Structure 1
Amino acid sequence: MDISVYRPGELNGTDRAAWSAVQSQAHLLGTPQLANPFLAPEFALAVGRCRRGVRIAVIREDGEPAAFLPFQRSALGVGRAIGLGVSDAQGLVHRPGFQWDPRELLRACGLAVLEFDHLVEGQKPFETASLRGFPSPVVDVDQGFDAYMARLREQSPKFIRRTLTKGRKLGRDIGPVRYVHDERDPVVLRRLLDWKSAQYRRTGRSDRFAHPWIVQLVSQLFHTRTASFAGQLSVLYAGDRPVAAHFGIRSERVLCCWFPAYDPAYAKFSPGLTLHLHMAEGAAADGLAYVDLGRGEKQYKDCLKTRELTVSEGWVARRHPVALGHRAHRAPVRALRNTVVSRPELFEPADRLLKRMGRIRSGG
């Protein structure tokens, strides 16, 4: 393999165009999972402006770019998928049928180990015993919004009836309901981040927006617009008040749910669920194939989804002392967390404890 490794600012326009072309054609060539916006060059470049150690490996065949691997590298040679911890799709973006030797790739990238937590399907050379798959629900809208709603009425009749009723009540009690699919007001984005931070604290979770680089990344992506990629803020208003909002990223075929939140003052109206239905309608109108709800067990995702993808977490490594040390450090932590998350008899009490701690921390 002919492998070159670049800093984000060193990637030339020809390589970026080739990368975007692979994504644009992915659904036609049997690799639709590669159309995810988290695998786009725009996302990798935005992370590169916010984090150190970002690199992009370009693999060429006959002098032409055939595959792209964005990653982050520590001084010791520990590699992490680009945006690990906040990205919902990771892997090698490649031409159909392309095969690679993962250890040769790691060596060329100066890595002893490369860790993923959302490796997409179809990355067989990366599949090792350390990888474990998890469901990632999606909402298919390629047949149109009416077809999706008909399916929801069949599979989740009580859920959809209750959600629509609450949406109408929101309009009667608070003000006319209005949805903006692509809101460009940064003030509303700031309000969404405040809601999300409060939600993290209220539920005992770590506040992602306490990390300045994540705030910077969201801001970068909010202002990023190309022919095949955009950061998108969607907002549900009641009267003049924003009551729920979501910020995510989209490619030509996929909208990724990323940071949804709502004003808790209007919780009884379930504005977040109404927002998700409007987002599905907007995605269908835009000609997208599906909305990716992201990995994670949530009741609302089970009600909204039409099917599930699989994403995997784990790592690929070559024989190296750093790889052994990394595995010894990371494996027990991941195993414990995934055991708790996957078993309701463990997850539910742990979730209650986190929420109780969140209320104490918030003074509630």
Structure 2
Amino acid sequence: MQIDVYRPGELSAADRAVWTTMQSKAHLHGAPGLANPFLSPEFALAVGRCRRGVRVAVVREGGEPAAFLPYQRTAAGVGRAVGLGVSDAQGLVHRPGFAFDAHELLRACGLAVWEFDHLVEGQEPFRAHATGSFPSPVIDVDRGYDAYLAHLRDRSPKFTRTTLAKERRLGRDAGRVTYVHDERDPAALRALMDWKSAQYRRTGRSDRFAHDWITRLVHQLFHTRSEPFAGILSVLYADGRPVAAHFGLRTERVLACWFPAYDPDHAKYSPGLVLHLRMAEAAAADGIAYLDLGRGQKDYKDSLKTRELEVSEGWVTRRHPVAVGHRVRRAPVRALRNAVVSRPEWFEPADRLLKQVGKFRSGRR
């Protein structure tokens, strides 16, 4: 087994083609999670244009690519999943039956530690080092939108009825409702980012779009379009004005939901929920198998989901002082965050406090 390490832009067209083929056929080999757009060569390339230290390890057997591991590393040898913090799927993309040793892979990459927080299912050599696993809700549309809507009506009849009624009410009050699944107008993307930044501030969260590299990454992906991959901006309009929008990533079979937001002036119509139903309908028509809503406990995800995947977080470490130091710094922070999120009696007061801080911050602006 040979392991070569490249910058994303150094990968040959042949290697990228093999990587994409592995993703497109993953569902046929019992590993559908590998088809996630965050595991694609296009995502690694885009992050590599915005962040230093992005690398791709290519594992070859008999001279042919057998697996690809995108990651980021520091000069000290601390490794992170590529795009950690904004990536909703991580792991090794590989051909069927491929087996690997996690420590050997790290050694070849020059890493003392590799940290992940959205490891997809089926990555057992990495999964053995996970510190926790979490649900990632999905919307299955492989049997068509009508089948999904029937499932939704059966499981949550009141939610479905109310959401569809709000869409009709939005049309009566604000003007004709239209939907564009793949909007190419940059102004709509700017509106989405403005809404999302305001939402982060309003709820006391860190504004991701205050980080220049995340803003540049989204713009890079908005303009990235190939046959198997694209950045998709979906927009719900009322009387020609945007009232909700979402930016995510698509491969042949998966639409990864990423940045949803809506105009708070239209909050009473639940435009975000209406948008997600329209997205599911359009995705089904495009041949998408499922929409991945991403890790995180949210009421709207519970209402829309058909099932859940499982993602894991943790780190693989070699016997190295850098690995020890990294774990000592990171472990308490992760443990505290997960404890708060998983316990309603802690999460709800913390969430209220964050929102109060957000109101204070917004009032000062």
Q: Could you tell me which residue of structure 2 aligns to residue 90 of structure 1?
A: 90
TM-score by length of 1: 0.99
Is it true that 1:275 corresponds to 2:275 in the alignment? yes
RMSD: 0.7
Q: Could you tell me which residue of structure 2 aligns to residue 147 of structure 1?
A: 147
Matches of residues 181-220 of structure 1 in structure 2 within 5 Å? 181-220=181-220
Matches of residues 6-85 of structure 1 in structure 2 within 5 Å? 6-85=6-85
Q: Could you tell me which residue of structure 2 aligns to residue 173 of structure 1?
A: 173
For the structure 1 residues 103 and 22, does the alpha-carbon distance in structure 2 shift closer, same or farther, using more than 3 Å as the test? same
Amino acid across the alignment from 1:138: V
Matches of residues 93-172 of structure 1 in structure 2 within 5 Å? 93-172=93-172
How much has 1:182 moved relative to structure 2? 0.5
Amino acid across the alignment from 2:169: K
How much has 1:62 moved relative to structure 2? 0.3
**Structure 2 contact 129–315 (Cα < 8 Å) conserved:** no
Query: Any idea what the Cα deviations from partners look like across 1:114-163, whole Å, max 9, x if unmatched?
Result: 00010000000112344310000000000000000000001111111111
Q: Could you tell me which residue of structure 2 aligns to residue 318 of structure 1?
A: 318
Q: Secondary structure of 2:25's partner? A: helix
Query: Any idea what the Cα deviations from partners look like across 1:31-53, whole Å, max 9, x if unmatched?
Result: 11100010000000000000000
Q: Secondary structure of 1:164's partner? A: helix
How much has 1:243 moved relative to structure 2? 0.2
Q: Secondary structure of 1:114's partner? A: strand
In the aligned structure 2, how far is the partner of 1:71 from the partner of 1:136?
22
In the aligned structure 2, how far is the partner of 1:295 from the partner of 1:31?
18
How much has 1:28 moved relative to structure 2? 1.1
In structure 1, the gaps of 5 or more residues are: none
In the aligned structure 2, how far is the partner of 1:273 from the partner of 1:87?
23
Amino acid across the alignment from 1:170: L
For the structure 1 residues 349 and 244, does the alpha-carbon distance in structure 2 shift closer, same or farther, using more than 3 Å as the test? same
In the aligned structure 2, how far is the partner of 1:255 from the partner of 1:130?
26
Is it true that 1:333 corresponds to 2:337 in the alignment? no
In the aligned structure 2, how far is the partner of 1:254 from the partner of 1:240?
29
Q: Could you tell me which residue of structure 2 aligns to residue 291 of structure 1?
A: 291
Q: Secondary structure of 1:131's partner? A: strand
Query: Any idea what the Cα deviations from partners look like across 1:247-298, whole Å, max 9, x if unmatched?
Result: 0000000001100000000001100000000000011000110000000000
Query: Any idea what the Cα deviations from partners look like across 1:162-214, whole Å, max 9, x if unmatched?
Result: 11111100000000000000000011101100000000000000000000100
TM-score by length of 2: 0.99
Q: Could you tell me which residue of structure 1 aligns to residue 355 of structure 2?
A: 355
Amino acid across the alignment from 1:243: V
In the aligned structure 2, how far is the partner of 1:172 from the partner of 1:128?
54
The runs of 4+ residues in structure 1 deviating greater than 4 Å are none
Amino acid across the alignment from 1:323: A
Query: Any idea what the Cα deviations from partners look like across 1:313-344, whole Å, max 9, x if unmatched?
Result: 11011111111111111111000000000111
Q: Secondary structure of 1:340's partner? A: helix
Q: Could you tell me which residue of structure 1 aligns to residue 248 of structure 2?
A: 248
Amino acid across the alignment from 1:336: L
Percent identical among aligned pairs is 76
Amino acid across the alignment from 2:283: A
Q: Secondary structure of 2:69's partner? A: strand
Amino acid across the alignment from 1:233: L
In the aligned structure 2, how far is the partner of 1:102 from the partner of 1:290?
30
In the aligned structure 2, how far is the partner of 1:186 from the partner of 1:130?
39
Q: Secondary structure of 1:335's partner? A: helix
In the aligned structure 1, how far is the partner of 2:274 from the partner of 2:284?
16
**Structure 2 contact 129–316 (Cα < 8 Å) conserved:** no
Amino acid across the alignment from 1:248: G
Q: Secondary structure of 1:362's partner? A: helix
How much has 1:29 moved relative to structure 2? 1.4
In the aligned structure 1, how far is the partner of 2:282 from the partner of 2:344?
34
**Structure 2 contact 56–70 (Cα < 8 Å) conserved:** yes
How many residues of Structure 1 are paired with residues of Structure 2 in the alignment?
364
Q: Secondary structure of 1:3's partner? A: strand
Q: Secondary structure of 2:287's partner? A: coil
**Structure 2 contact 119–127 (Cα < 8 Å) conserved:** no
In the aligned structure 2, how far is the partner of 1:355 from the partner of 1:151?
34
Q: Secondary structure of 2:258's partner? A: strand
In structure 2, the gaps of 5 or more residues are: none
Deviates more, 1:182-191 or 1:125-134: 125-134
In the aligned structure 2, how far is the partner of 1:131 from the partner of 1:8?
29
